[in-house]
Amino acid sequence: MAHDVRTTGGGALDRELAGLDALELGGSGAPRRVLQRTWSAVWPITAATLIALLAWQAVVWSGWKDPWVLPGPTDTLPVLKDQLTTSRFWDAVGLTMRRAVIGYALAVAIGLVIGGLVSQSRILRRAFGSLITGLQTMPSIAWFPLAIMLFQLTESAILFVVVLGAAPSIANGLIAGVDYMPPILLRAGKVMGLRGLNLYRHLIMPASLPSFVAGLKQGWAFAWRSLMAGELLVIIGNTTSLGVLLASAREFNNTAEMISYMIVILVIGIVIDQLFGVADRSLRSRWGLDQE
């Protein structure tokens, strides 16, 4: 009998120790999973970058253009490295990003209001639905002659086009999210007494969030392209932005410096896209759609 008790007690102790070992292994595996996820996110970008650099160098080696017209990575990357050490460069990046943030924030606010109104009114949908889509497909650069006429060579001219370029995409993202929301959710919300802003805050916005985030991402892409076009066309005195640096390098036929600025513009776009990707993955994980 005593032997059975000792055996039973020993078995319980063994199970407890095994549970502690499992917890310890699970805790030590968490950093490994973080490293694996980081590596899985980094290596495709790294591989794509190396392939792009090799393709670029191959074009240079082919002799298609003279090296002073199309310099290779070995000539351009040192120039980029030198630019990263100058205060003028970082002042230009700061001005460009400030314009991007202000213009994009205005576009989000306007797109949210327009999308919310149009999505809830059949009359507004028929009146302005096609117009919003038309504005979304219209090239942003086509707005600059009007913007310059209205605001001259000022910050307002640039922000005007940035907002017009981004707001329609954001509005359409919200409209699409509302369109694909199950009607039963709206009926349930109204039965629970949700009306007006509370209906949007607690029901419509959470339900339409996936499409809205996609609209925000597309709106940023339009805003960034509109901003770069604006900085090339609207040169404001005593200001230095990425567009101004790019135009100045072109005027002086400094191709290596010009390409270095183009690389910076590309990298900023990729970084912002990755931030939207993090938000999208977090949203999918919250909704139980993450396949990992």
Q: What CATH number did the domain enclosing 195 receive?
A: 1.10.3720.10
Has residue 68 been placed in a domain?
no
Residue 150 pLDDT exceeds 60:
yes
Has residue 279 been placed in a domain?
yes
CA–CA gap between residue 226 and residue 139 (Å, rounded)? 9
Q: What is the mean pLDDT of residues 260-275?
A: 90
Residue 24 pLDDT exceeds 90:
no
Domain containing 145 equals 76-286
Burial 152-165 (b: 16+ CB within 10 A, else e): eeebebbbbbbbbb
Has residue 50 been placed in a domain?
no
CA–CA gap between residue 100 and residue 220 (Å, rounded)? 9
Has residue 209 been placed in a domain?
yes
- Note the pLDDT of residue 99: 93
- Note the pLDDT of residue 102: 95
Of the pLDDT bands very low, low, confident and very high (cuts 50, 70, 90), residue 29 is low
Mean pLDDT of the chain: 82
Has residue 52 been placed in a domain?
no
Evaluate the CA torsion angle 19, 21, 27, 30 in order and state its sign: negative
Report how many domains make up the chain. Answer: 1
- Note the pLDDT of residue 2: 47
Has residue 15 been placed in a domain?
no
- Note the pLDDT of residue 108: 94
Could you tell me which of 179, 199, 182, 181 has the C-alpha nearest to residue 191? 199
Evaluate the CA torsion angle 163, 166, 170, 173 in order and state its sign: positive
pTM above 0.95, yes or no: no
- 36 or 241: which carries more pLDDT confidence? 241
pLDDT in tens, 213-248: 888 999 999 999 999 999 988 888 788 899 999 999
Has residue 98 been placed in a domain?
yes
Has residue 204 been placed in a domain?
yes
Longest Cα–Cα distance of the chain, Å, equals: 100
Residue 205 pLDDT exceeds 90:
no
- Note the pLDDT of residue 97: 94
Could you tell me which of 283, 172, 159, 288 has the C-alpha nearest to residue 227? 159
